[in-house]
Structure 1
Amino acid sequence: MTIPAQALWPIVLLSASNLFMTFAWYGHLKFKTAPLATVVLVSWGIAFFEYWLAVPANRIGHGYYSAAQLKTIQEVITLTIFAGFSAFYLKESLSLNTLLGFCLIAAGAALVFRG
């Protein structure tokens, strides 16, 4: 089974955009002594590049996915990237309850794609 590029590109672009956004929103937590104004401006700068990936992802993807499906894809990607970011970058362990909660969200996402 071949996945059409129109279906794959939004997933690739949303994954990349979520990497940027995760760093924009949570990367500063490793730099708690940095002034708030500095981290806000740095985060804003990182988010600028996130938009350059997310907006095209949604434009390309909307020809193949519904808006609800695109949002669902983004949320599942966000949770996946955040779990890795939290564990590897912030060195925070993921509890069983957190992982189970993420699995329940993924199960809910599967319902969106069942139509």
Structure 2
Amino acid sequence: MIPQSILPIVLLAMSNIFMTFAWYGHLKFTDKPLWLVILASWGIAFFEYCLAVPANRFGHAVYSAAELKTMQEVITLIVFAIFSIAYLNEPITINHGVGFALIALGAFFVFKGPL
């Protein structure tokens, strides 16, 4: 069994994989009609919601809403960086890395106890 503190992280990671494909996967299919990729993206996003909603429901028993949102954003950046390199063949530049690191620094302060 997955510990209650880890389950939302796993579910959020899985949901972000689906959402990243829903939002950006169509970029490799620019020859397809826009209405078709919108429908395909909605279909993929359905599975994202099937994971994200339980992640937040279960996660809220352990984490605050702000902590869950922060986790989701950091996970999104990690998933997107991997997706960008592996699927879109687009590199992550130093500027991207610095920007992502600053967001991660913000996440640190969300989880850090009161200052």
Structure 2 counterparts to residues 1-115 of structure 1, below 5 A: 5-115=3-113
CA distance in 2, matches of 1:110, 1:5: 22
* Counterpart secondary structure, 1:83: helix
Deviations 1:73-102 (Å, cap 9, x if unpaired)?
A: 000000000000001100001110101100
* Structure 2: stretches of 5+ with no match in the other structure: none
- Compute the TM-score of the two structures, normalised by the length of structure 1: 0.96
Name the count of aligned residue pairs.
Answer: 112
CA distance in 2, matches of 1:94, 1:64: 33
Deviations 1:27-60 (Å, cap 9, x if unpaired)?
A: 0000001000000000000000000000000000
CA distance in 2, matches of 1:53, 1:98: 27
CA distance in 2, matches of 1:61, 1:30: 34
Amino acid at match of 2:18: F
CA distance in 1, matches of 2:76, 2:60: 19
- Compute the TM-score of the two structures, normalised by the length of structure 2: 0.96
CA RMSD of aligned residues (A): 0.8
CA distance in 2, matches of 1:6, 1:68: 17
Q: How much does 1:105 deviate?
A: 0.3
- Segments ≥4 residues shifted beyond 2 Å: none
